[in-house]
Amino acid sequence: MNSNTQKIVGGSLLLAALIALPHFLKFHHQDLLIFLTINVLAVSSYRIVTLTGEWSLIHAVMMGVGGYTAALLFKYYEVGMWVTLPMAGILTAAVAALLCFPLFRTTQFYFLIGSFAAGEAIRLIWIQFVFPFGGTGGLSGVEPPMVGEIDFMESIPYYYLALSVVLLCLFILYLIENSRIGLTLHAVHWKAALAESVGVDTWRYRSLAFVIGSFFVGIAGALKVHYLGTITPNQFGVGFMVFILIWVIVGGYNKFYGPILGAVVLTLFDESIRGFAEVRPAIYGAVLILSILFLPLGLESIPSKFKAWSGIGKERDPLSLTDK
Amino acid sequence: MELIFQSLINGLIQGGFFALFAVGLVLIFGVMGVVNFAHGELVMVGAYTVWLLHAQHGLSYFFAIGVAVVLVTLIGLFMERFLFRPTQNDPLAGLICSIGMLFILQVVATLVGGEGPSKQVPPPFHGTWVLFEYLRIPYQRIFSLLISFFALSTLWYFLTRSKLGWALRAVSLDKEASALQGININRISMIAIGIGASLAGLAGALMAPLTNINPHMGHNVIITAFIVTIVGGVGSLSGAVLAAFLYALFHTFVTVYFGGTIATICGLVLMVVVLIVKPTGIMGTRISE
Amino acid sequence: MPVLEIKNVSKQFGGLMALNNISFQVETGEIRGLIGPNGAGKSTMFKNIAGFYATTKGEIVYQGQNISGHKPHAIAEMGIVRTFQETTLFQELTVFENVLVGCHIQARSNLFSAIFKLDKPRQNIARDQVLEVLEFMGLSERQEQLASELPLGSQRALAMSIALASKPKLMLMDEPFAGMNPEETLHMMELTRKVQESGMTIILVEHDMKAVMGLCDYLTVLNFGQLLAEGTPAEIRNNDKVIEAYLGGSK
Ligand SMILES: Nc1ncnc2c1ncn2[C@@H]1O[C@H](COP(=O)(O)OP(=O)(O)OP(=O)(O)O)[C@@H](O)[C@H]1O
Ligand SMILES: [Mg+2]
Over the stretch A12-37, which tens digit does the pLDDT of each residue have? 899 988 888 888 888 888 889 999 99
B129 inside domain: yes
The rounded Cα B181 to chain-centroid distance in angstroms is: 31
B194 inside domain: yes
DSSP classification of residue B53: I
The answer to whether B278 contacts chain A (CB < 8 Å) is no
Partner residue facing C119 (CB), from A180, A187, A208: A180
**Cβ pair B74, A263 in contact under 8 A:** no
A266 CB neighbours in chain B (<8 A) are none
Same domain? For C45 and C98 the reply is no
Q: How many CB atoms lie within 10 A of CB C207?
A: 15
**Domain final residue, candidates C167, C201, C229:** C167
Task: Please report which ligand is nearest the Cα atom of C14.
Answer: 1
**Cβ pair A64, A124 in contact under 8 A:** no
Ligand 1 atom 4: the closest Cα is on which residue? Answer: C13
Same domain? For C107 and C48 the reply is no
What pLDDT sits at residue B202? 96
Same domain? For C174 and C246 the reply is yes
Tell me the shortest Cα–Cα distance from B229 to chain C, in angstroms.
24
Task: Report how many domains make up chain C.
Answer: 2
Interface of C with B in 135-164 (CB under 8 A): none
Nearest to C74 by CA among C87, C86, C62, C89: C62
B235 inside domain: no
Q: Percent of chain A, pLDDT > 90?
A: 52
Tell me the C-alpha distance between B199 and B43, whole Å: 9
What digits encode the pLDDT tens for the residues A57-90? 999 999 999 999 999 999 889 888 889 999 999 9
Which ligand 1 atom sits closest to the C-alpha of C47?
18
Same domain? For C64 and C177 the reply is yes
Closest chain C residue to the Cα of B286, Cα to Cα: C14
Ligand 1 atom 2: the closest Cα is on which residue? Answer: C13
Q: Which domain holds residue B120?
A: 16-218
Ligand 1 atom 16: the closest Cα is on which residue? Answer: C41
Low-confidence ranges of chain C (pLDDT < 70): 247-251
Same domain? For C40 and C98 the reply is no
Q: Which domain holds residue C209?
A: 1-79+169-251
3-state helix, strand, coil in chain B (%, to 5): 75, 5, 20
* Alpha helix segments (H runs only) across A229-296: 238-251, 258-272, 280-294
The answer to whether B86 contacts chain A (CB < 8 Å) is yes
Bridge partners (DSSP) of residue A37 are none
Task: Give the 3-state secondary structure of residue A219.
Answer: helix
Give the residue, out of C10, C12, C13, C177, with the most ligand 1 atoms within 8 A of its beta carbon, to mutate for a pocket test. Answer: C13
Whether residue B288 has pLDDT greater than 70 = no
What pLDDT sits at residue B282? 67
B131 inside domain: yes
Whether residue A126 has pLDDT greater than 70 = yes
By DSSP bridging, strand A146-147 and strand C226-231 are unpaired
What pLDDT sits at residue C248? 63
> What ipTM was estimated for this complex?
0.91
Task: Report how many domains make up chain B.
Answer: 1
Report the separation in Å between the CA atom of B258 and the middle of ligand 2, taken as the mean of its atom positions: 56
- Higher-confidence residue of A300 and A200: namely A200
Average pLDDT of the segment spanning B91-118: 89
B170 inside domain: yes
pLDDT bracket for residue A315 (50, 70, 90): very low
Whether residue B112 has pLDDT greater than 80 = yes
Task: Give the 3-state secondary structure of residue B281.
Answer: coil
Report the separation in Å between the CA atom of B284 and the middle of ligand 2, taken as the mean of its atom positions: 28
What pLDDT sits at residue A39? 95
Same domain? For C74 and C176 the reply is yes
Regarding the beta carbon of C49 and ligand 1, being less than 6 Å apart is answered no
Average pLDDT of the segment spanning A308-321: 46
C72 CB neighbours in chain B (<8 A) are none
Regarding the beta carbon of C113 and ligand 1, being less than 6 Å apart is answered no
B224 inside domain: no
Same domain? For C51 and C40 the reply is yes
Longest dimension (CA), chain C: 64
Whether residue A2 has pLDDT greater than 80 = no
Same domain? For C132 and C63 the reply is no
B287 CB neighbours in chain C (<8 A) are 13-14
Q: Which long-range CB contacts under 8 A does A128-133 form with residues at least 24 apart?
A: A128/B259, A128/B261, A128/B262, A128/B265, A132/A72, A132/A76, A133/A68, A133/A72, A133/A233
What pLDDT sits at residue B79? 94
A124 CB neighbours in chain B (<8 A) are 261, 264-265, 268
- What's the Rg (C-alpha) of chain A? 20
Q: How many CB atoms lie within 10 A of CB C63?
A: 16
Give the residue, out of C12, C20, C34, C42, with the most ligand 1 atoms within 8 A of its beta carbon, to mutate for a pocket test. Answer: C42
Regarding the beta carbon of C41 and ligand 1, being less than 6 Å apart is answered yes
State whether A116 and B227 contact (CB < 8 Å): no
**Domain final residue, candidates C112, C141, C167:** C167
What digits encode the pLDDT tens for the residues B8-43? 888 998 999 999 999 999 899 888 888 899 999 999
pLDDT bracket for residue B67 (50, 70, 90): very high
Lowest-pLDDT range, A298-307, B58-67, C170-179? A298-307
Is the whole model's pTM more than 0.95, yes or no?
Answer: no
The answer to whether B277 contacts chain C (CB < 8 Å) is no
- Mean pLDDT of chain A, nearest integer: 88
Enumerate chain A positions whose Cβ falls within 8 A of a Cβ in C: 172, 175-176, 179-181, 183-184, 186-187, 190-191, 193-202, 208, 212, 316-317, 319, 321-322
Q: Which residues contact C107 (CB under 8 A, 6 or more apart)?
A: A180, C100, C119, C122, C123, C125, C126
Question: Residue C21 maps to which CATH number?
Answer: 3.40.50.300
The answer to whether B96 contacts chain A (CB < 8 Å) is yes
Same domain? For C246 and C173 the reply is yes
Task: Please report which ligand is nearest the Cα atom of C17.
Answer: 1
Task: Give the 3-state secondary structure of residue B256.
Answer: helix
What digits encode the pLDDT tens for the residues A232-267? 999 999 889 988 988 998 898 888 999 999 999 988
Give the residue, out of C17, C34, C44, with the most ligand 1 atoms within 8 A of its beta carbon, to mutate for a pocket test. Answer: C44
- Mean pLDDT of chain B, nearest integer: 88
The answer to whether A149 contacts chain B (CB < 8 Å) is no
pLDDT bracket for residue A1 (50, 70, 90): low
Which ligand 1 atom sits closest to the C-alpha of C225?
14
Whether residue B100 has pLDDT greater than 50 = yes
- In single-letter form, the type of residue at position A224 comes to K
C13 CB neighbours in chain B (<8 A) are 287
Nearest to C217 by CA among C26, C31, C36, C4: C31
Partner residue facing B230 (CB), from A113, A278, A285: A113
Partner residue facing B275 (CB), from A106, A120, A286: A106
**Cβ pair A259, A253 in contact under 8 A:** yes
Regarding the beta carbon of C249 and ligand 1, being less than 6 Å apart is answered no
B211 inside domain: yes
Class of residue C154 by CB neighbours under 10 A (exposed 0-12, middle 13-18, buried 19+): buried
Nearest to A234 by CA among A124, A118, A84: A124
Whether residue B214 has pLDDT greater than 50 = yes
**Domain final residue, candidates C167, C184, C200:** C167
Half-sphere exposure of A257 (CA within 13 A, CB side): 7
Regarding the beta carbon of C13 and ligand 1, being less than 6 Å apart is answered yes
Report the separation in Å between the CA atom of C39 and the middle of ligand 2, taken as the mean of its atom positions: 7
Whether residue A309 has pLDDT greater than 80 = no
pLDDT bracket for residue A324 (50, 70, 90): very low
Q: What are phi and psi of C204, to 5 degrees?
A: -120, 125
The answer to whether C13 contacts chain B (CB < 8 Å) is yes
